[in-house]
Structure 1
């Protein structure tokens, strides 16, 4: 089987500036990568549109619209957009890199949020949304997946992929682009969105934060869409009794089916929520006003049927007897008939509106049931075993084929990627290629031994590995800071190949051991200490030396092999030359005396010629007998002639 890289963009550089390092996330329109900005030396997130969508002018325009819309916004609660461009056949935009989890991740962890968490997240989202609305931008895809909870505590709203100007309208088909669970009724029925549509999505998200569930659920998207168009979002306190009435009211206010009954924009909702969070009095909402005028039924209250309501509208007491009503004037009865006719007309109009909504919902049902929506969506399979992935594809009426590819992150044997990617819609029965991980790719190991540490680090990174650490420094004949060995994660020297992105450790030269021969002990100790070696007197020794003066260092005594900074060493100190006693040769024949001194290791001399030495007797030496001098010292022998 042919191995293919998990992502061809990793390692590439866009516009000679943005080096793609790793993949962060995938979406329906684009892939998001972590990258290095070479120019400004910072980490950024790069959003690259899928290749197959780049051929669609509508998608390309929408993608570029995101860049233009987001670039107009600057707010602490909005993800910043820095740049946009095209390179390597890809359309991309550059955003602020934000190490974070999403609100969806937090909801999965906690099920639902506390009241305090809900207020904090809600206020941040409304603050960012308010800035967008103030700039004339509608988000159009507000949902927990697009709320970023940064590691440093910041809360930011991102992904303006479906954003449009507030004044722009859309067609009904485009209404399906948002997430069904958060679509406002006007998007479902008319395909028209404005700032108040974002508020509806916020209200649904607020309900989900408080209860842990979405207000409307169903097996098919059309069922959820139908509920948005025909049902009121329930108050969260029905599922979570801890919800205060003020938050119930905010959910009701923002999720009114009629847009005119919602806050006019996020700023108005933000004022309400900020006051609530900080304990200030909250203003009455547009929902509260009609509730205050509603008559509360008591046991004595009479509930009127339709005919009685028509009579009441005509000015006739509906509780009076029929005889009393017979006595009413003809004009009064005619008014009652007219009122009833108007009521029946209103009923026919209401029925017509309901029929239109049903047809619209039916169209949505056709889209997902028999039209383009009937296609199966490729599920997310990365990290699953091949058997698990096959089973998941079977559940989606899709087939599987398996290839192999290397992967830095996915364990061996697990699914590293799919082709096409997760979220792609395919005809049922189509085949999805599963790429089974073979682990990291094995890459050639460059030469590192003999290079300086900086040169070796560059070679490591350039070859596709990562630098680990300097595990050891040791003294050697090489210059300081030169790499002596390159080790893998097992501590062994590297071979010809090594796993991609594997960590490489160095053994580095500390330079040569200082040469202290001939130095005085203190001078030698200072030089060794400067090289991070410790002089241990217990390792030292003394010895006679004919060449090194007494008290000077003859040599270094090593205790380890190799020698490393921090090791202990000893000093061999000179006692000077070894001395020998001059023997007493007086009274000996001169030649005998000369031989005795030579045998003792000295160099005897005399003024008597060789031929006369047998006639001479040694009398004394200079230096004198008994003195100690080094071997080889010249000894002068005095003598007298025998009579």
Structure 2
């Protein structure tokens, strides 16, 4: 049984199940914790939870029990290690690999959430890979059923790993399914961009940074990055569920064309991989040496360790060296050993090797140095990538000397590469410096003054330049409606997409209509003009209003109208006098028709002797009377 790793509560060993002939992992509770009921409960919960969760992306637990008072779990052995180990070995992930990990992990979380289980400690160290490269979620030691209302822990400490905690976990609130989604979002963000989107000098500072700083999408327009940022919403109610993430990322996975495998299969990986441990301080422990998980020293240490194992293995398996040693051992003292095929008397001048060996070594070193100076690599096209992704890709190709120059760009988002020198596709020596021109976003834009101009024209011009326009409307007795009164900022350069605020005139404030009924027309015109109104005049006879005075107005006095509104007036022409026509001798019907057509009314019609001819009229013909007066008639046979 070989020790493979350890954590804050348990030690993991690789062992052989002699009954079934399979390699398994055995997890033992750390000494000193076997009497702690909290850790015993976690150990039991991990076994019981895993027993109820049967999913291809969740690590299987075969058995659990106690041996001489030491609890243990028997689990499937995953030979390709964890995602955190891959980081420590210097691995970086492509977008296709991140999509595969995200889709598989989301599927496992959706499955466990659907069965009322939360994981509460999703992190790279708990994402393991089997010998086929498939990801599995491990360590359900902090699992909690959704039906539980609280979980009591000794000292009331925060559960989980601070680096990957959801905001509600940092605040000590109850975990929800969205907490697992948030932790997965941080894992995927780190896998895609190389670091989590928070900074802090300590673990708790790093954890609490997510309570105040929202996550900004480094790749606007990238659906994968957009989905990750949605998972990192500080409000758990606004995050997508694990099932929604699974559907989204399965769609991403279906769109992949010939995606590269997550990790190559390593034969006998358990023999060549050093023991890797993640403790509660988030540092890596390798063969007793402690180095920071994300530091360069950790990568260098692992590289040296792996190289040491490789050199030892090669030395032990060199058959030619062993054969030469054996030949020298059986040779007689003082007599050089010769091959069986060489005849006596044909010995080669082996002493020449003393002269040739330095020459051969020097030639080999010269060739190696010349190769290093002459070899070139093809420059990758890193345009439109983030500067972090571009740097990782170029370093992966052996280009180590990078220089960043920041420039304004109207087309490339801030933080993304505009171009490189040399350009993509060119051949470049690995030791030459490659310049990355990184976008600072759109250059500042000059805001001109639109004082006294029409606001509609100002808005049209500024919108075309990329500004946002925010108008405020105010009354002005001097500035016509729709004209700019004020502007801020003005006559200066400001950031692209800035907001320009305007104060726009609504013209003079509305005013009440004066009462001009009964006033002379000239007085009415003056009163209306002084208030800013226009007017129109119609003339009409009036028996009650003197000639030249206002009979009526179209808007009631006191009504508030906008300045410039029109008020219609009716001017009196005084009484309407007319002359009575002569209808004597006319037939009665003709006389009545004549009088009515000229505005008169028919008064009394007398016919004492009968008849139909007008004999007499009153008033008499030619008299002047008021328009509409009555005319009396006398008719005879």
TM over 0.5: no
TM range (shorter): 0.3 to 0.5
Give the TM-score of the pair, scaled to structure 1: 0.40
Larger Rg: 2
